[in-house]
Structure 1
């Protein structure tokens, strides 16, 4: 390969010569030492009719999930990585949950699915009862599909709650009626500014106190807590406070290697958006932990952090654009198209850097195809690669 000219953030150019050594084929059973979920994205296709929005490409979307299961990873379905609240509405999410749960049963794949309140109209005040009923509807749908539920943080609950006691009321009602243990999701304001003050406290430590109280009151109904604060020290403190048997799922896409590896006493499991793009490496690393080789685990996973930090750079909610770009470059879908048009949300230099970092990790099964698609993207946006 002669190389491809990539645009830089400073307005200049650099010549990059793509890798000729992609990761080879790989398959594995789920890891024994950790529970690892990849929060999977949705593959979209251009609309059949001019002026319509992108539609879900079901073949590519479900095919990507089968790829994750084949690598031994679980699938966290219909989460924020799938653009919940950013292009994917509840009816589409409900269908995604139904189809993915059916596919998971067919292959024995592990799956959990997001249950929230996004069927409530945005920009309107809702009562606490309405918020609870919305959660109940989605929880019933997830469990009716045979999947475990992730109780997602709710913008509507932030707006409706008068204080911490309202969170206790809502989550207590949901946990009392759940048919199986759920995952409680604490999505910090860095991922969604509308969730600032979740658990009824602006102070993060006070918020953690309330979350621990909810878990302590319903320990057999909580499989784990998913922490997405991008604050590793607070996550370590929280996992020390959880009751025995309640998992701490890291959502820290910046410091996941050290959190999953653990400190020799406690370790985090994982539910991560970055695990979709780096799935082949994450799966290999998990086997190193099963062998009791934390050094080997870090040697595999640490080099992926530069890509993760790049994809999740501020504004962090736009990480989804890079995730979909890499899936398209890798050949897992035929279009770089996203619900709500988010394929245009990141700059071309940002996308070019994502391509380079992923290629250096060997994440493209066919580097020539990835290079060709990157050239096409540059040309479509008026730049010659």
Structure 2
């Protein structure tokens, strides 16, 4: 027999175990001074419309009100929003038409609220069935179309890694030519995004080589040729030492935005030679706590910053465990449990991409961190999910 507040979670090896949720809500509240020592973006998820009659292969049906409300939540805590990135299921349920609408709506909302926004520029309009892989001119044209849309919306562009370019490029020179062409056209400095194959297997060998040292040299060559057009780089390789070595080689004035969801506290804290800013998917569920931690870092108190952020790494490593690209499922689960949306439905049906034990552990870790504004609501919703999946409460 369990107590009235307990939740029966799946136990290792079968059966169930009783978990008692925390009672006190988190201490964090919206508002506070602007973040000053680091530039911090949260890559935000999209909210599906649960009433839409769609198939997993059809266009995404987005709940625009809930999606934009979540972005206002992030802005209210002082974070920037990285829009239409892989956290928003770009290429995993959200096609280019949906991403374009998301960019237009979010950029308008950012302008109205004074929030900072940067948006992903890719080539995913080339993913429709074709008789042959896209050519390099087609890849450039797709990039140009998306770059023009993001700039016309008033957002900062993030040049994302392209599956089509990875398939079309025959050498590092093809990357140098393509990115050089785009950077010369950009009206303002952009963020370059190096997304590793753990996030998207189609990006294996990006920058023209599977050898990361060789790929890094090509990446840096792109930046060195156009330092005035590169605001920064987002590195998502889940390799802290490689990111540190890379950021030390950047030209003056070019930021490193960590995309390392395994090592972000130490990378943001930095060392005697510098630090990383942040553009992270884990800062979607961690938004208020992350903002509080960076405000502490703004005072110079690295020890308190680490004391607040280090305990979140276990949750992040859990959400981003292999296959890493399915981390979005845990992110959306936590948004539902936290009360940011009324359901656990994802575009493309991706709510089924993680096991029930995985989701239960995500709930337990998030509750332990105090991420839920209403712990009782989170517990009630988790019980309902468990019951539907055959774990009676």
Alignment TM class, shorter chain as reference: over 0.9
Given that residues 6 and 13 in structure 1 are in contact (C-alpha distance below 8 angstroms), is that contact kept between their aligned partners in structure 2? yes
TM-score norm. by structure 1 comes to 0.98
CA distance in 1, matches of 2:128, 2:198: 20
1:274 paired to 2:282 = yes
Mean CA deviation greater in 199-208 or 8-17: 8-17
Query: What residue in structure 1 maps to residue 259 of structure 2?
Result: 251
**Cα contact 1:9–1:350 (8 A) shared by 2:** no
Matches within 5 A, 1:331-350: 331-350=339-358
**How do 1:212-231 and structure 2 match up within 5 A?**
212-231=220-239
- Gapped runs of 5+ residues in structure 1? none
From 2, 6, 14, the counterpart of 1:3:
6
1:170 is matched with which residue? Answer: 178
Secondary structure at the aligned position of 1:26 is classed as coil
Match of 2:52 in 1: 48
Q: Which residue of 1 aligns with 2:306?
A: 298
CA distance in 2, matches of 1:121, 1:263: 42
Question: Cα deviations across residues 236-260 of structure 1 (Å, max 9, x unaligned)?
Answer: 0000000010000000000000000
Counterpart Cα distance in 1 of 2:32 and 2:129:
45
Instruction: Give the secondary-structure state (helix, strand or coil) at the position aligned to 1:32.
Output: coil
CA offset at residue 9 of structure 1?
4.2
Alignment partners' CA distance in 1, 2:298 and 2:5: 41
Cα distance in 2, alignment partners of residues 360 and 26 from structure 1: 21
Residue aligning to 2:328: 320
Bigger mean CA offset, 15-24 vs 235-244 = 15-24
**For each residue in 1:301-355, what CA deviation from the matched residue of structure 2 results, as whole angstroms up to 9, or x when unmatched?**
0010010000000010000000000000000001101111110110000000000
Q: Compute the displacement of 1:51 (Å).
A: 5.7
8 Å Cα contact 1:192-1:317 kept in structure 2: yes
Question: What is the CA–CA distance in structure 1 between the aligned matches of 2:128 and 2:271, rounded to whole Å?
Answer: 42
Alpha-carbon distance between aligned partners in 2 of 1:26 and 1:102, rounded to the nearest angstrom: 21
Q: How far apart are 1:21 and its partner, in Å?
A: 1.4
Q: Match for 1:356 among 335, 348, 364? A: 364
Structure 2 residue 242 is matched with structure 1 residue 234: yes
Q: Does the 8 Å CA contact 1:78/1:84 hold for their aligned counterparts?
A: yes
Q: How has the CA–CA distance of structure 1 residues 311 and 45 changed in structure 2, closer, same or farther, with 3 Å as cutoff?
A: same
* Counterpart position of 1:158: 166
> Is residue 43 of structure 2 the alignment partner of residue 39 of structure 1?
yes
1:28 to 32, 43, 48: 32
The alpha-carbon deviation at position 46 of structure 1 amounts to: 1.6
Q: CA deviation at 1:118?
A: 0.2
For the Cα contact (< 8 Å) 2:9–2:391, is it kept in 1?
no
Give the superposed CA RMSD.
1.3
Query: What displacement does 1:265 show?
Result: 2.5
Cα distance in 2 for residues equivalent to 1:286 and 1:14? 36
Aligned counterpart, 2:74: 68
SS in 1 for 2:362: helix
Range with bigger deviation, 156-165 or 10-19 = 10-19
For structure 2, the 5+ residue unaligned runs are none
SS of 2:278's equivalent in the other structure is strand
Deviation at 1:11, TM superposition (A): 2.0
1:100 equivalent in structure 2: 106
Number of equivalent positions: 385
Which stretches of structure 1, 4 residues or more, deviate above 6 A after TM superposition? Answer: none
Structure-1 residue corresponding to 2:19: 16
CA deviations 1:243-292 (Å, max 9, x no partner) are 01000000000000000000132000000000010111101101111101
8 Å CA contact 1:29–1:71 kept in 2: the answer is no
Cα displacement (A) at 1:49: 3.7
For 1:187 and 1:290, locate their aligned partners in 2 and report how far apart those are by CA, in whole Å. Answer: 28
- For residues 159-184 of structure 1, what are the alpha-carbon distances to aligned partners after superposition, in whole Å with 9 as ceiling and x for unaligned? 00010000001000000000010000
Give the match for residue 84 of structure 2: 78
Q: Is the 8 A contact 1:322 1:354 kept in 2?
A: yes
